[in-house]
Structure 1
Amino acid sequence: MNERLGPIPDHALTTAQRAAAQEIIDGPRGAVYGPFVPLLRSPELMLHAQRMGEYLRYRSALGVRLSELAILVTARQWDQAVEWAIHAPIAAQAGIPASVIAAIAARERPADMLVDEAVVHDFCIELHETKTVSDRVYADALALFGEQGAVDLMGICGYYTLLAMVMNTARTAVPDTGEPRGGPP
């Protein structure tokens, strides 16, 4: 399967695309990669998405560990190998146990999650699979994370779903992270 929307040659970038790419390069990501390569075709959309993602990835009310867990659940739900390849190592570094990561990769509910991890996992699974969240799971999220945390969790699921849709459609190539592959195909 070939990439449909690979890199745009530098000489072919519009002024708006150059400015949008530079904003991403100057931010915490440091480079245009993954979903931002196909999104560069719509520079204004890319910039709005990037700003949302910067908040959700780096500053959400959930913190990095739980945000990365939500990203992995979303990547698995969408069979998104690029998200998985980028975020599985980050999740491990942030403290998500290898057994939890492996269970998510296998589409199993991890048996050894901490309480906050279980709430995030169950919230994300319900939201992706049923398109809503049950009263019990929502109440659990509200009790642990408050309203902002619950909304940020919805935002993480939605944002990484957008990126998964973009990369699945663009057939974005999986980066070589030097880590064992695992996860979605």
Structure 2
Amino acid sequence: MSERLGPIPDHALSEAQRTAAQEIAAGPRGAVYGPFVPLLRSPELMSHAQRMGEYLRYRSAIGVRLSELAILVTARQWDQQVEWAIHAPIAAQVGIPSSVIAAIAARERPGDMLVDEAVVHDFCVELHEHKAVSDRVYADALALFGEQGVVDLIGINGYYTLLAMVMNTARTSVPEEGAWRMPD
């Protein structure tokens, strides 16, 4: 399958697209890549989305390590190879064990998670698979992260679901160099 909604040549960018692209490039991402390439067709949506994503990825109330774990669960739930290729190495760098990453890739519940990792994993899986979270899993998340943490965790799942939908629809190509892949 060929990629849809690929890069827009610089000379074809509207002023709004150019401004939105510059905003992303000037932030912690440093460039327009992955989901932001197709999102550039709607520069206002892209700008709002990237600001939400910047908060959720870098400053959420649950911290970067657990945010990366939630991103991996979401990527796996949506079979989103680009999200996986970008975030699996980051998750490893911030302390998610390779055994946990491999189990998520295999659609298995990792057996060797820390308590906070297990709570995030179970919350995300339930939210994706049941479109809701059980009272027990909600209570566990609330006890560990408080209300802001629970809402941020929901936000991470929703935001990365949006990005997965965009990239799955656009057929965004997986970066080849050093890419981590999920099994099909």
> TM-score, structure 2 length as denominator?
0.98
CA-CA distance at 1:85 after TM superposition: 0.1
CA RMSD, aligned part only?
A: 0.8
Distance 1:184 1:149, change over 3 A: farther
Q: Distance in 1 between matches of 2:142 and 2:178?
A: 38
Q: Distance in 2 between matches of 1:50 and 1:65?
A: 19
Aligned to 1:86: 86
Aligned to 1:48: 48
Q: Distance in 1 between matches of 2:37 and 2:89?
A: 21
CA-CA distance at 1:182 after TM superposition: 3.1
Aligned to 1:133: 133
Aligned to 1:107: 107
Does the 8 A contact of 1:71 with 1:87 survive in 2?
yes
Does the 8 A contact of 1:81 with 1:184 survive in 2?
no
Percent identity, please. Answer: 86
Deviations along 1:47-89, one digit per CA (max 9) or x if unpaired, are 0000000000000001110000000000000000000000000
Aligned to 1:154: 154
1:38 counterpart SS class = helix
Does the 8 A contact of 1:62 with 1:152 survive in 2?
yes
CA-CA distance at 1:178 after TM superposition: 1.3
Q: Distance in 1 between matches of 2:25 and 2:100?
A: 32
Query: What amino acid does structure 1 have at the position aligned with 2:182?
Result: G
Aligned to 1:25: 25
Does the 8 A contact of 1:62 with 1:153 survive in 2?
yes
CA-CA distance at 1:98 after TM superposition: 0.3
Does the 8 A contact of 1:76 with 1:184 survive in 2?
no
Deviations along 1:22-52, one digit per CA (max 9) or x if unpaired, are 0000010000000000000000000000000
Q: Distance in 2 between matches of 1:9 and 1:151?
A: 38
Aligned to 2:181: 182
Q: Distance in 2 between matches of 1:182 and 1:114?
A: 24
Aligned to 1:66: 66
2:122 counterpart SS class = helix
Number of aligned pairs?
184
CA-CA distance at 1:183 after TM superposition: 1.4
Does the 8 A contact of 1:120 with 1:141 survive in 2?
yes
Q: Distance in 2 between matches of 1:160 and 1:119?
A: 18
